Amino acid sequence: LGALFFAYYWDDNFDPGGLDYLVLNHIGGAPAGTRARSPQATRWLMQVNFLSYVQLTSRALPSLTDSKGSLVVVSSLLGRVPTSFSTPYSAAKFALDGFFGSLRRELDVQDVNVAITMCVLGLRDRASAAEAVR
């Protein structure tokens, strides 16, 4: 099976009216380890792996609210279980879990019918993960 890739850059005038589903599934990867990581690289990882999810959700939420739509957030087990050699990536994924867990509660309290589903992907196989940190 092939996968279709579609990207759209929302500008300030974009109206996502009629949006029923938003699937947030993107990643900014980084080499394993943190000793050589610059503050700029960490900032970039947070932008791609956390802040972009928040920005897209903020832009789409009014339309999803109108349509009683669904938001699907693809994350990582590294956002639930700390592990070695993944510090900035794990921090971004933990932030996703906190943000969307809190948003789900806020929407529930406000009686907003938007479903939020967190899809948590597991770790890579041990051999390739070990090779990545060498």
Angle at 11 between CA 9 and CA 12, to 5 degrees: 155
Domains of the chain: 37-132 (3.40.50.720)
Mean pLDDT of 8-32: 72
Residue type (1 letter), 18 = G
Q: What is the mean pLDDT of residues 87-98?
A: 88
The mean per-residue pLDDT over the stretch 85-109 comes to 92
User: Cβ(74)–Cβ(122) under 8 Å?
Assistant: no
pLDDT for the residue 125: 60
**pLDDT for res 89:** 84
Catalytic residue among 8, 9, 21, 89: 89
Q: What pLDDT does residue 37 have?
A: 72
DSSP string across 58-76: HHHHHHHHHHT-EEEEEEE
Annotated catalytic residue 9: no
Say if residue 44's pLDDT is above 60.
yes
pLDDT value of position 81: 82
d(CA 117, CA 104): 9
